[in-house]
């Protein structure tokens, strides 16, 4: 087997079976994705709508495409018909756009709410107060074509493992808070998307249900 396939197999051996592996294929060619696919991988994450659409058209239909990067409202229409999960919902405006476009084609799109858990300023996402205000709003209550399945976050890019752990711990706390307050009877609200190549082991210890791993599978990006 090729290196990419071997990386998939060894990650699947290490990750508990209840934790889903999202293979982050951004910037990588379709040939690399096919190598992962041939090793059994079916969930791929991309951070640009245009790139995802191009790749989807060249690859098998049973791939689940996950949008993991910041999504502009004007790009929603291009992926709404096929995207399996949007990890990066970071505003009411974006959620409304996904809802409106999905409604037009009679689809329900699964979404995660992205939280800002890192100390870096540049990362997108809600605070817990902002998310609760949104979920409690009248506008939110009318959305019928999106399904909120959980939360997502990125930890600070640092060697300081205790900081990373605290941030993942906080995200898992936000998940529990939302579950208890709004989604207690909704079994579909169950995902905590956290953990990347450098920190997925800590994320799993803190309760991740979905890890998003790129460079450990495909090699470093340019
Ligand atoms: C690029 C990216 C990843 C994967 O990063 P690696 O360090 O290569 O595993 C995960 N999540 C998001 C949101 C990303 O943009």
Query: 104-113 pLDDT, tens per residue?
Result: 999 999 999 9
Tell the residue number behind the tokens 């592996």, with chain if given: 21
User: Which among 12, 13, 32 is positioned nearest to 22, based on CA atoms?
Assistant: 12
Give dist(CA 45, CA 64) in Å, integer.
Answer: 9
5 lines ligand 1 (CB under 6 A): no
**Overall fold of domain 3-218:** TIM Barrel (3.20.20)
Q: Which residues contact 216 (CB under 8 A, 6 or more apart)?
A: 7, 11, 197
Cβ of residue 166 lying under 6 Å from some atom of ligand 1: no
CB burial of 81-111 (b: ≥16 within 10 Å; e: otherwise) equals ebbebbbbbbbbebbbbbbbbbbeeeeebbb
pLDDT at 13 over 90: yes
Tell me the residue length of the chain: 222
**Ligand 1 center to 214 CA (angstroms):** 6
Ligand 1 site, residue 194, Cβ cutoff 6 A? no
- The mean pLDDT value for 194-218 works out to 98
Separation of CA 74 and ligand 1 centre (Å) = 23
This prediction's pTM? 0.97
For ligand 1, atom 11, the nearest C-alpha belongs to 212
Bridge partner list, 109: 146
26 in contact with ligand 1, CB cutoff 6 A = yes
Q: For 76-111, how does the pLDDT look when each residue is reduced to its tens digit (9 = 90+)? A: 999 999 999 999 999 999 999 999 999 999 999 999
Closest ligand 1 atom number to CA of residue 22: 10
């Amino acid at each position: 087997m090729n290196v990419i396939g071997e990386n998939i197999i060894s990650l699947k051996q290490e990750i508990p079976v209840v934790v889903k592996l999202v293979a982050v294929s951004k910037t990588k060619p379709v040939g690399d994705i096919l190598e992962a696919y041939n090793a059994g991988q079916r969930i791929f994450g991309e951070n640009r709508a245009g790139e995802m659409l191009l790749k989807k058209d060249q690859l098998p239909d049973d791939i689940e495409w996950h949008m993991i990067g910041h999504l502009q409202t004007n790009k929603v229409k291009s992926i709404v018909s096929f995207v399996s999960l949007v990890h990066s919902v970071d505003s009411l405006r974006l959620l409304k756009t996904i809802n409106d476009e999905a409604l037009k084609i009679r689809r329900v799109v699964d979404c995660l709410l992205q939280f800002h858990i890192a100390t870096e300023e540049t990362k997108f996402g809600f605070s817990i107060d902002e998310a609760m205000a949104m979920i409690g709003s009248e506008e939110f209550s009318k959305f019928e074509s999106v399904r909120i399945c959980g939360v997502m976050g990125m930890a600070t890019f640092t060697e300081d493992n205790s900081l990373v752990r605290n941030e993942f711990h906080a995200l898992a706390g936000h998940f529990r808070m939302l579950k208890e307050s709004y989604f207690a009877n909704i079994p579909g609200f169950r995902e905590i998307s956290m953990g990347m190549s450098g920190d997925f082991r800590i994320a799993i210890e803190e309760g991740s249900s979905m890890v998003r791993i790129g460079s450990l599978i495909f090699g470093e990006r340019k």
